[in-house]
Structure 1
Amino acid sequence: MKKNIHPAYNVIDVKMTNGETIQIRSTMSRPEGMQLDIDPLTHPAWTGGNQRLLDTGGRVSRFKEKFKGFGF
């Protein structure tokens, strides 16, 4: 491998949405760390859980009404 082409890895603090802080290695050099907006411990994309749709402004119901013949 070529020398001196890889980025330096630093240990940073990552603050989860529940307040827990973990340490990971990253190429980021932020001394304050990083705060997550979406927590991988509880998000359905990572946990495999079902996602509930929040019908704000009736958008979901309008979509379902418009495409009701397609089996949605």
Structure 2
Amino acid sequence: MKPGIHPPYVETTVVCSCGNTFQTRSTKQSGRIVVEVCSQCHPFYTGKQKILDSGGRVARFERRYGKRRTGADKEANVEKTKADK
């Protein structure tokens, strides 16, 4: 690294709205970062996350256009048409 062009890298305290605090390092001069969510209260990390299908888009697509056939289904259909001839 080139000397004299980088900001100082200092110890910083991260404070979450849930009350959790932890130490890290940052170039922010105040030494304190306030966040709304952290790994202690975020639903992904706590296991309380819910996956929602917004408006049933997949179901609506399948209703409109039908499910696509897999490769095995297509091959069986081709063999069936050949046998019919």
Q: What is the TM-score with the length of structure 1 in the denominator?
A: 0.55
Give the % identical residues.
30
Runs of 4+ in structure 1 off by over 4 angstroms are none
Structure 1 portions without partners, runs of 5+: 55-59
The structure with the largest alpha-carbon Rg is 2
Instruction: Give runs of aligned pairs for residues 24-63 of structure 1, distance below 5 A.
Output: 24-31=24-31, 33-43=32-42, 44=44, 47=45, 49=47, 51-52=49-50, 60=54, 63=55
Return 5+ residue gaps in structure 2 as ranges.
63-85
Q: How far did residue 27 of structure 1 move?
A: 0.3
Name the structure with the higher helix share: 2
Q: Which one-letter code corresponds to 1:29 in the other structure?
A: Q
**What is the root-mean-square deviation in Å for CA atoms of aligned residues?**
2.9
